[in-house]
């Protein structure tokens, strides 16, 4: 029986990052992964393939809508869907093989197969039992569906099926205007599908800044997506090639039906803990089926830790990675730390949407006095030159101390711009600190500085 200091179950961004940090800290480390490739949901059927399709379809959009304006004339490219999928698969392959290389480099053993925990200190993979001083569960999440909606991954699909459709649908219905629904809905709308998004609530992307929500929905509508808001999906009916989506409008209970070639069900994800044997071990769970952990990511069973999508908090790859590093440090006797107040969220549509920290709603709820500094990309020269002037940067700062409490960006490269605010927040910076920092011209980042200036004496270009 092989012995390890740490065995990690799951090789997603939580598990593989944790393993590399454990190995760097001198711990003998193995990772159990049941998929044929490393990288988890994120690299195989999540972040990476969706961003590849977003990138490719955005290039098409630019060619169709903006090239001629810049004097780039000629026939627009046509879509070779098989080749686009092959490009996406190549991107996945390069990334998953990269993790395999990092495992070898760091002398991490990959125990291939599905793992379970027969007792604390032991991990079973197929018929082999391995001993581990510490076990870290990083088993991730899976799509959660709705009652009355049967997934076949061909006509009624989750994100996994939507990343590998046989052809571009003529009509697509997306259930859920959250992150997956809007990213993948955008992809297919750009590729020519007629996309209708059916959302239970009255605003897209729940929990986000209300002004961003409105602007985002308006921009997506302009791009051709249709929205049915305040609608509860009742059921889907599917044949081998078509589906019907039945929904009820919440405002008057009226019943409606939409026809589709493909239905994307994007109504959230739930922790994946099947087969681990957690019940028998007595591992405490939350009411939402997540593994409950303490501040050190340890469960109520000594020596068993959990991180990533399987525990509480936002289901994001970088949150899982940060917990992976922090849990590794805890196991190695150091002091791992994650600042849950500064975890950015990004939606990779065009324009991108990014946020960090408090929203106006959460600040009002907690009764904290705040000020708002807002700057429209319309006043940013670079954004105007690049046909990317729709959107804004909004910074929220404490009314008395000027300390930055949150930021909300919709606009070009929002997912990159947000990080200067994250760093500022980690250093406890004031809006004035950002405003006094020289920003290169012409960059999109100048819009962040202008929003910080707007928290004080005012921006220059508006």
Residues known to be catalytic: 441
Cis before 351 (ω within 30): yes
Partner interacting with residue 212 (select from ligand FAD, ligand NAI, none; CB below 5-8 Å by kind): none
Contact between 9 and ligand FAD per CB under 6 A: yes
- Phi, then psi, of 193 in degrees rounded to 5: -75, 150
Q: Minimum Å distance from CB 135 to ligand FAD?
A: 11
Task: Decide if 259 contacts 272 (C-beta within 8 A).
Answer: no
Contact between 141 and ligand FAD per CB under 6 A: yes
The torsion angle over the Cα atoms of residues 146, 38, 338 and 448, rounded to 10 degrees, is -80
Contact between 34 and ligand FAD per CB under 6 A: yes
For residue 48, which of 109, 5, 107, 90 has the smallest C-alpha distance?
Answer: 90
For residue 338 the two structure tokens come to 């994650």
Near ligand NAI by CB under 6 A, which window of 4-12, 162-170, 309-317, 391-399? 309-317
Contact between 79 and ligand NAI per CB under 6 A: no
DSSP letter for each residue of 233-260: EEEEEE-SS-EEEEEEETTT--EEEEEE
Contact between 272 and ligand NAI per CB under 6 A: no
Please identify the residue of the shown chain whose CB is closest to the bound ligand NAI. Answer: 178
- Among 19, 21, 30, 41, the residue binding ligand FAD under the rule CB under 6 A is 41
Q: Which residue in the block uniquely carries the two structure tokens 């929002």?
A: 414
Partner interacting with residue 217 (select from ligand FAD, ligand NAI, none; CB below 5-8 Å by kind): none
As a whole number of angstroms, the distance between CA 91 and CA 86 comes to: 9
As a whole number of angstroms, the distance between CA 457 and CA 462 comes to: 12
Other CB atoms within 10 Å distance of the CB of residue 371:
16
Partner interacting with residue 177 (select from ligand FAD, ligand NAI, none; CB below 5-8 Å by kind): ligand NAI
Partner interacting with residue 272 (select from ligand NAI, ligand FAD, none; CB below 5-8 Å by kind): ligand FAD
Contact between 391 and ligand FAD per CB under 6 A: no
Counting Cα atoms < 13 Å in the Cβ hemisphere of 371 gives 18
For residue 106 the two structure tokens come to 């760091």
* Residues that bind ligand NAI in the complex, under the rule CB under 6 A: 146, 175-181, 183, 198-201, 206, 232-233, 266-269, 314-316, 346-348
Q: Which residues bind ligand FAD (CB under 6 A)?
A: 9-15, 32-35, 40-42, 46-47, 50, 114-115, 138-141, 159, 180, 272, 275-276, 308-309, 315-318, 320, 348
């Amino acid at each position: 029986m092989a012995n390890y200091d740490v065995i990690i179950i799951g090789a997603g961004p939580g598990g593989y990052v944790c393993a590399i940090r454990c190995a760097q800290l001198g711990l003998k480390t193995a990772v159990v992964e049941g998929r044929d490739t490393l990288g988890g949901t994120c690299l195989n059927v999540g972040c990476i393939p969706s961003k590849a399709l977003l990138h490719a379809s955005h290039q098409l959009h630019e060619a169709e809508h903006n090239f001629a304006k810049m004097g780039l004339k000629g026939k627009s490219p046509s879509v070779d869907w098989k080749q686009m999928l092959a490009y996406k698969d190549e991107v996945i392959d390069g990334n998953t093989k990269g993790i395999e290389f990092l495992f070898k480099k760091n002398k991490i053993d990959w125990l291939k197969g599905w793992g379970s925990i027969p007792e604390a200190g032991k991990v079973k993979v197929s018929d082999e039992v391995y001993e581990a001083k510490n076990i870290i569960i990083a088993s991730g999440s899976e799509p959660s569906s709705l009652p009355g909606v049967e997934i076949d991954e061909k006509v009624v699909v989750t994100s996994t099926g939507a990343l590998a459709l046989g052809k571009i649908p003529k009509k697509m219905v997306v259930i859920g205007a959250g992150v997956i629904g809007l990213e993948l809905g955008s992809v297919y709308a750009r590729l020519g599908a007629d996309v209708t998004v059916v959302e239970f609530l009255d605003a897209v992307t729940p929990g986000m800044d209300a002004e961003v929500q409105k602007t985002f929905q308006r921009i997506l509508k302009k791009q051709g997506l249709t929205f049915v808001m305040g609608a509860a999906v009742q059921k889907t009916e599917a044949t081998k090639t078509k589906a019907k989506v039945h929904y009820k409008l919440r405002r008057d209970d009226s019943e409606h039906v939409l026809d589709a070639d493909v239905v994307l069900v994007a109504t959230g994800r739930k922790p994946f803990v099947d087969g681990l044997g957690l019940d028998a071990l007595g591992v405490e769970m939350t009411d939402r089926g997540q593994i409950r952990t303490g501040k050190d990511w340890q469960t109520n069973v000594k020596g068993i830790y959990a991180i990533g999508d399987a525990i509480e908090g936002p289901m994001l790859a970088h949150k899982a990675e940060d917990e992976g590093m922090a849990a590794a440090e805890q196991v190695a006797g150091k002091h791992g730390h994650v600042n849950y107040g500064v975890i950015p969220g990004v939606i990779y549509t065009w324009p991108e949407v990014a946020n960090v920290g408090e929203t106006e709603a959460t600040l009002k709820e907690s009764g904290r006095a705040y000020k708002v500094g807002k700057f429209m990309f319309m006043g940013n020269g670079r954004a105007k030159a690049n046909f990317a002037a729709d959107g804004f940067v909004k910074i929220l700062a404490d009314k008395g101390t000027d300390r930055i409490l949150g930021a909300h960006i919709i606009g070009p490269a929002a997912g990159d711009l947000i990080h200067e605010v994250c760093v500022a927040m980690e250093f406890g910076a004031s809006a004035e600190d950002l405003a006094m920092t020289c920003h290169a011209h012409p960059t999109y980042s100048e819009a962040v500085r202008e929003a910080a200036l707007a928290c004080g004496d005012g921006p220059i270009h508006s």
